[in-house]
Amino acid sequence: MVNDRVRAIENREFLAGFQKLTPYPPQFELLARVAAQLPKDTRITGWSYEAGNLQFTIASPTSPDLLFYVKSYAAVKGFTDVTADRAEGDRTLRVKLRVVP
């Protein structure tokens, strides 16, 4: 029982070392931050993330308000340089932002 606990602690410390290799939060955390700002009838249809640059596309049954999304995501802790533009049509929006380490 004690050996299992020691191994578990060692494994946790080993995995924690991998987190130090990148200063950015994991993608599932970013996805949770993004999803928390979305209205209920809006969904994420595209996602691209690399080295602190996040771009995602949302689709809505009505035309999304660019300013609303820029202000909403600019207010999220750890997100900066938020921009948005129309994607494939009037009901889709592409949001780009920078993730702060």
User: If one looks up domain 23-99 in CATH, what number appears?
Assistant: 3.30.1360
Per-residue pLDDT of the chain (101 residues; tens, 9 = 90+): 778 888 888 888 887 776 677 788 989 999 999 999 999 999 999 999 998 999 999 999 999 999 999 999 999 999 999 999 998 889 999 999 999 98
* Cβ neighbours of 96 (radius 10 Å): 15
Tell me, what's the pLDDT at 72? 96
Token representation of residue 40: 């209920």
**So what's the pLDDT on residue 2?**
73
The answer to whether 84 touches 42, Cβ cutoff 8 Å, is: no
Q: To the nearest 10°, report the CA torsion of 43, 48, 50, 54.
A: -40
